[in-house]
Structure 1
Amino acid sequence: MAFTLRITFSGMCLFVPEPTTPGGSTGRMRVLMPGMPGHHHHGGADRHVPVLSYDAGYLVQGGPLLGVPALAKFTGQEITPVAGNAANTHLCGHIVDLKQVTGRPVDPDHLGADTKKRLVGRVNLGAGGITRVAPGVCWEWRANEFRAIAHRVEWEIPDVQGDSLTLAGEPIGGGGTARALGTLYPSGGLISLEVLHEPVQDVIDPVPEHHQTPPMRGETAPHFTAFYSLFGGPVPVVLPRFWGPLEDAPPVSDPCAVLPPAMGSLPYTCLVGGA
């Protein structure tokens, strides 16, 4: 029996391709979740948590989906849903490439045992590829350079073999004890997960209109600076500045397919990036 695994990433997630050969198109995709200002302090305004979410109905073989989310924090841990080196490592144009700003790749320490402790979570993807994104709103990237920047990314792994998927969190720094995150059973040939790296209040109350108002034009995305801590030293910094609704952004070259608007929460503060 085989099924499709769909993972939707939301919030401060940096997609880092690791092709098996230089310049290659397949390998692994690492999704890095940087520590945020205040994340060590309970109640800090910018504290983010990495959370795995799925319908509780997936926990029962042959049972119906319930519309009730099961949530599991994996702070300090990494998840490898499907191991391998066959992932499509292409990043489409909706995902801003920070290596073009920094001039250097992500510090390799964050792709192995994170001894520098800059990450609060990581997901390793060994198969599948990006299918759709939520393109968000229009940002001014560099001066007079306007673009959409995705804030949700959907990843699909087709033809996963077996009749269940057992998930565990492994310590990013090595050693320690794995944490069971659930054994899930497909429904209608699909298991759908969400990986969130968002402020605590947004995880608890995921309806965006409850706590999201458009920023003033020119305001920067407040959490974006955390990505630049992953490049191993001082680097140039470019921050997206809010410009207006998505309709104000020019067409994206090499676009991804687009998620329906109802599936695209939190477009103003927590964006994704690539490197």
Structure 2
Amino acid sequence: MAFTLRITFSGLCLFVPEPASGGNTGRMHVLMPGMFGDHCGADRHVAALAFDTGHLAAAGTPTGITAMAPLSGRQVTPVAGDEADLALCSHIVDLREITQRAVDPDHLGSDTGKKLTARMTLGAGRITRVSPGVCWEWRPGEFRPIAHRVEWEISDVEGEQLTLVSEPIGGGGEQKALGTLFPMNGRVNLVMYHETTQDLPPEPLPVARQPVPAPGFTPHHFSAYYTLFGGPVPTVLPRYWGKLADCPPLANPCEAIPPDMGGMPYTCLVAGVSGGGGG
């Protein structure tokens, strides 16, 4: 018996492909940068894995109660392998175009530089949908949406359950059990958060109550991504322009996640790095 694993990444998450030899598949690392320096207090981010507690029982049903496991300093590999589709749709802004270099390869391994809060590595599946968010000015005169949520799906996961464990990013140390999860209606749903505390369960700020920033607003959390490139690099921060409808259409869009599924479209944006790490 097989099931589908759907993982929703929400917040400050950097998608970094690690290609297998000579192909378009491999492993996708999702890096959650450490929020150091001025990112404290209201800017403090929490990395946590969440799921409905109905997944804890065989033949369970949704309970509406969320279980959460903190992942600070930890990494998770839900499904091992090197067959993930490494394509990044155009809603995920490519920082390689700005920095002209890959992320430090250390962040795909033991992270001895301790720049990460958490990491998830995906050995199968692909990006399926995104929350396209709002319209940003990226480089001068370049207007585009930037996703703040990304769905990743792995179909045909073998077995009748999924056992999740975490381990230290720095290597060594014991694994920690996160739970054995059973499918509901043929699917296990996880949410990987790297968000400020006001955006976390059980009572995230509703989308309708999120204040709309003034034009020109810059999400300063985004600057944390540039600490992962192993040295000084050029930086670009998006500037708020307006509603999604104010942007021109993208050439390679992903399917959209329904807007009522949450997430903060103004502060914690997703990014990617084409070509992976170390190149």
TM-score range, shorter chain: over 0.9
Other-structure match for 1:15: 15
In the TM superposition, 1:1-275 aligns within 5 A as 1-22=1-22, 24-37=23-36, 44-204=41-201, 205-209=203-207, 212-275=210-273
Would the aligned equivalents of 1:33 and 1:122 in 2 still touch at CA under 8 Å? yes
Would the aligned equivalents of 1:37 and 1:46 in 2 still touch at CA under 8 Å? no
| CA root-mean-square deviation | 1.4
SS in 1 for 2:224: helix
What letter corresponds to residue 215 of structure 1 in structure 2?
P
Shift of 1:207: 3.3
Count of residue correspondences: 272
Q: Which runs of 5+ in 1 are unaligned?
A: none
Q: Deviations over 1:64-96 (max 9, x none)?
A: 111111111111000100000000000000000
Would the aligned equivalents of 1:38 and 1:45 in 2 still touch at CA under 8 Å? no
Q: Which one is further off, 150-159 or 206-215?
A: 206-215
Q: Which runs of 5+ in 2 are unaligned?
A: 274-279
What letter corresponds to residue 155 of structure 2 in structure 1?
P
CA distance in 1, matches of 2:27, 2:64: 31
Q: Deviations over 1:103-125 (max 9, x none)?
A: 00000000000000000100000
Shift of 1:201: 2.1
Q: Which one is further off, 203-212 or 128-137?
A: 203-212
* Percent of paired sites with the same residue: 61
Q: Go from structure 1 to structure 2 and tell me whether the alpha carbon gap of 1:211 and 1:179 turns closer, same or farther (over 3 Å shift).
A: farther
SS in 1 for 2:93: coil
Would the aligned equivalents of 1:8 and 1:194 in 2 still touch at CA under 8 Å? yes
CA distance in 2, matches of 1:198, 1:170: 21
What letter corresponds to residue 255 of structure 2 in structure 1?
A
Runs ≥4 in structure 1, deviation > 4 angstroms? Answer: 38-41
CA distance in 1, matches of 2:206, 2:33: 22
Would the aligned equivalents of 1:39 and 1:47 in 2 still touch at CA under 8 Å? no
